[in-house]
Amino acid sequence: MSQSPVSPGVPRPTLTVLLATPRGFCAGVDRAIQIVEKAIGKYGAPVYVRHEIVHNRLVVERLKALGAVFVEELEECPPDRPVVFSAHGVPKTVPAEAKARKLLYLDATCPLVSKVHVDTGRHFDAGREIVLIGHAGHPEVVGTMGQLPPGAVTLIETVEAAEAFEPQDAANLAFVTQTTLSVDDTAEIVAALRARFPQIAAPHKEDICYATTNRQEAVKTVAARSEVLLVLGSANSSNSMRLAEVGRRAGAKAYLIDSAEELDLSWLAGASVVGVTAGASAPEVLVQGVVERLSQSFEVSLEEIDAERETVTFKLPRVLA
Ligand code: SF4
């Protein structure tokens, strides 16, 4: 199907676009990006960043243009330049290595991820066996498991794994979770653990963060009214992927796209209502790009669908504040 704008004089088909609110940047992502920008401002370029600061292509490309250099391991950082740790958090060995090499480092770990690290350590100190609900290989999971010695944390990804889990001491268990999981899937895994281990210690307040929870709530409302859902976010962004999944379950055909250029208008064939949202690491400019692209081919009527208003902000590290 052609993706070019309609010809002048030809009436454009109408399209209702529902914008999910909240969407896009959360407080942790905003803080992490500011840390890189301010570090470049204070120390000059280049500033090294261990792992993508947040999982978004546009954000990473923009920071590269400002002077950030993204690397996967500390050994790639020269001794005389600052290094920033990404919002996902790092295993304890990383700051230890930075100290040993006398590197100037700035920790952009989201405070809500740091809270999970603290809770994990507390459970360990109390002698509990710890279950982490999360996705293998995600940097946040690597960071949380890396707060403790190898073998201290068991990763559980599914209800089946929760049902098969054989702890060493069933009466002395605790669980924590990755912050960017599906609220509904996690509730099922937690229920499976609680059914088998009623005494399992749980977080005081959900580890799934406010931003993930709010964006999933908002997208449920929008997707239930939409034939197609467009989620702005990168394919390696956990919370963006979860938004597409939640949208699909709510009945929409959901597509995860990095930008308006990836939008294939054939996906919209026969649709009259399209929902749009963005993962917590995706800037609003990407949403506006999609609205503009749709407006070239349709008579767009925009509707903001409000779920929750967010007021959370996090302080910058003192050295940059
Ligand atoms: Fe922090 Fe949640 Fe944002 Fe991750 S998604 S950076 S945990 S606020």
**CATH code for the domain in which residue 54 is found:** 3.40.50.11270
Residue where a domain stops, chosen among 71, 92, 107: 107
The predicted pLDDT at position 3 comes to 47
Tens digit of each residue's pLDDT, the chain (321 residues): 444 566 677 788 999 999 999 999 999 999 999 999 999 999 999 999 999 999 999 999 999 999 999 999 999 999 999 999 999 999 999 999 999 999 999 999 999 999 999 999 999 999 999 999 999 999 999 999 999 999 999 999 999 999 999 999 999 999 999 999 999 999 999 999 999 999 999 998 789 999 999 999 999 999 999 999 999 999 999 999 999 999 999 999 999 999 999 999 999 999 999 999 999 999 999 999 999 999 999 999 999 998 888 999 999 999 998
Alpha carbon distance 15, 263 (integer Å): 15
Residue where a domain stops, chosen among 107, 139, 173: 107
Alpha carbon distance 84, 50 (integer Å): 6
The predicted pLDDT at position 9 comes to 73
Q: Which domain holds residue 118?
A: 111-196
Within a domain: 286 = yes
Q: Label residues 109-126 b or e (16+ Cβ within 10 Å = b).
A: bbebbebbbebbeebbee
The residue annotated as part of the active site, out of 37, 52, 129, 140, is 140
The predicted pLDDT at position 17 comes to 98
Q: Are 230 and 221 in contact (CB under 8 A)?
A: no
Ligand 1 neighbour 29 (Cβ under 6 A) = yes
Q: Determine how β-strand 173-177 pairs with β-strand 129-133.
A: parallel
Total domains present in the chain: 3
Within a domain: 311 = no
Ligand 1 neighbour 120 (Cβ under 6 A) = no
Residue 261 annotated among the catalytic residues of the structure: no
The predicted pLDDT at position 6 comes to 65
Supply angle C-alpha 240, 246, 252, rounded to 5. 105
CA atoms within a 13 Å half-sphere pointing along the CA-CB vector of 197: 23
Q: What is the DSSP letter of 31?
A: H
Within a domain: 266 = yes
Ligand 1 neighbour 28 (Cβ under 6 A) = yes
Confidence (pTM): 0.95
Query: What's phi and psi for 277, nearest 5 deg?
Result: -145, 180
Residue where a domain stops, chosen among 107, 139, 158: 107
Could you identify the atom of ligand 1 that is nearest to the CA of residue 113?
Answer: 7
Within a domain: 3 = no
Q: Whose CA is nearest to atom 2 of ligand 1?
A: 209
The predicted pLDDT at position 1 comes to 41
